[in-house]
Amino acid sequence: MKHELEIGTFHDLRVVEIVDRGVLLDGDGIDLFLPAHQCADDVAVEDRVEVFVYVDHDGAPQATTHEPLACVGEMALCKCVSVTKAGAYLDWGIPKDLYAPPAEQTQPMREGQRYVVAVCLDRKGERLIASQHLAKHFDYDVSTLAVDEEVDLLVHAHSELGAHVVVNARHRGLVHRSDVYGHLPVGSEHRGFVRNVREDNRLDIVLSRRGVAGIKDAEATILAALERAGGRLDLHDRSSPKAIERALGLSKKAFKRGVGGLYKARRITIDGAGIALVTGQS
């Protein structure tokens, strides 16, 4: 059945009664039970509590203060905790596991493995399910995003084009192969920046800021690494991109620009074996 109270999202609900082992919340005409261990010790009638609303096995709305990995319309990396003939079940941070029907799996899920899924409603709009068919669940309204804006990334696939990423848990993005450095495994999370908002409302993403801002970021990263290493790093122009990425999380291009800026500012010295902090500098 359809629910008056929107499920799969957070609500700020009023406490209407203190009961044995918990409280009752006003869920638009439905009393939702919240266990005492999820309430503040001094909770009182008329207090407001922020809860996530989901449904139990019988389809009845339930409230929890546990925070899920994703709300309806969002995507997250979830671990498969069990598999049955009816489908798979994923741990997504709340008491009831998230059901992934066979039709919503791009390949049969396996217990113990992690998968990037979209949290959505079933066809009747009554129950929360997981779907690996991300394309039909992306939010293509990117009007709130701007070029050079910092965003959160979740890698969900790779292709000849580059690394395909979920942007801010809901939008579709691509880190072009020419902008990928280091290893970006599926399921890994990163910081990124919007390089371009395309006409099809997809997003081109880069992993570091451009221009002066990007150079300053690289300089700060190099200085911090030097301080942790006691003032010296065995990295230089001939170091491999992989060695630089492992040590600093920077592309070789960003490393060279950062080193150049620090050298001009007389913050570091450079020799054939590496770079070092100038005495008395940090």
User: Which domains does the chain possess?
Assistant: 9-64 (2.40.50.330), 75-136 (2.40.50.140), 150-206 (2.40.50.140), 211-277 (1.10.10.10)
Axis-axis angle for helices 241-248, 252-264 (nearest 10): 70
Residue 116 near residue 132 (C-beta atoms within 8 A): yes
CA neighbor of 188 nearest in space, from 225, 152, 159, 134: 152
Classify 258 as helix, strand or coil.
helix
Instruction: Tell me the C-alpha distance between 60 and 211, whole Å.
Output: 53
CB 87 within 8 A of CB 122: no
Nearest alpha carbon to residue 50 among 25, 85, 28: 25
CA distance 51 to 66: 8
Strand partners, 11: 51
Query: In this structure, are residues 259 and 270 in contact, taking their beta carbons and an 8 Å threshold?
Result: yes
Q: Please tell me the pTM assigned to this model.
A: 0.77
pLDDT one digit per residue (tens) for the chain, 282 residues: 555 789 999 999 999 999 989 999 998 888 999 999 999 989 999 999 999 999 988 888 999 999 999 999 999 999 999 999 999 999 999 989 999 999 999 999 999 999 999 999 999 888 999 999 999 999 999 999 999 899 999 999 999 999 999 999 999 999 998 888 767 899 999 989 999 998 888 899 998 877 777 778 888 888 998 989 888 999 888 888 888 878 887 778 888 888 888 888 888 898 888 888 987 654
